[in-house]
């Protein structure tokens, strides 16, 4: 018979969530360190969430909050910081002046480009480590898992089957 202590001492191998999280954390840490070395010392980890793919350009803050799974208050706090640091601006929405739109400044676009460069470097290293075929397979599988029903429909795969 196993005890509570026995079960907590051996959690078993990592499950898929941990296997996805661990490389992501390594990428995130490396991205931030690389940005600091490139002159973006004022960026902190939460700012990367704002700049992450596909970026905040032309988004309403409320839509970005939903996409990043942040409260509107938390996101607006980060946007205020990033605006003061010169990475973005919040401008009136020309179509509906009740709303604001996020616009990256040249510095914000440069930081986003630097983030992409770091990830491309990591992808090259992972390609070297896994081999081109295995890395392409990994990338393909992750892309497949990331697809939404809307993505598949736009790609011509037709609508999702419905339960009878």
Q: Map residue 21 onto helix, strand or coil.
A: helix
User: Does the structure show a pLDDT above 80 at 160?
Assistant: no
Look at residue 7 in the predicted model and tell me its pLDDT. 57
The pLDDT of residue 8: 62
Please report where in the chains the tokens 């990043």 appear, as a residue: 68
pTM of the entire predicted model: 0.80
Determine contact, residues 15/21, Cβ cutoff 8 Å.
no
Average pLDDT over residues 34-46: 97
Residue 77 host element (H or E): helix 72-84
Per residue in 135-149, pLDDT (tens digit) is 999 999 999 998 877
DSSP assignment of 91-124 equals EE-SS-TTSEEEEE-HHHHHHHHHHHHHHHHHHH
16-144 carries CATH number 1.10.10.10: yes
The domain spans of the chain are 16-144
Residue whose C-alpha is closest to residue 122's, from 144, 139, 145, 142: 139
For residue 101, list its beta bridge partners: 91
- The per-residue DSSP string of 45-63 comes to HHHHHHHSTT--TT--HHH
């Amino acid at each position: 018979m196993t005890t509570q202590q026995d079960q907590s001492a051996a959690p078993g191998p990592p499950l898929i969530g941990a296997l996805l999280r661990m490389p992501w954390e390594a990428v995130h840490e490396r991205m931030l360190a690389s940005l600091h070395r490139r002159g973006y010392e004022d960026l902190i980890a939460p700012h990367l969430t704002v700049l992450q793919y596909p970026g905040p350009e032309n988004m309403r803050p409320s839509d970005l909050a939903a996409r990043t799974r942040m409260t509107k208050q938390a996101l607006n706090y980060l946007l205020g910081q990033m605006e003061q640091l010169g990475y973005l601006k919040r401008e009136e929405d020309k179509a509906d002046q009740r709303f604001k739109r996020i616009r990256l400044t040249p510095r914000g676009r440069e930081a986003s480009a630097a983030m992409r460069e770091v990830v491309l470097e990591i992808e090259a290293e992972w390609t070297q480590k896994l081999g081109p075929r295995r890395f392409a397979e990994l990338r393909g599988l992750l892309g497949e898992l990331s697809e939404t029903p809307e993505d598949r429909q736009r790609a011509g795969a037709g609508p999702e089957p419905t339960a009878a």
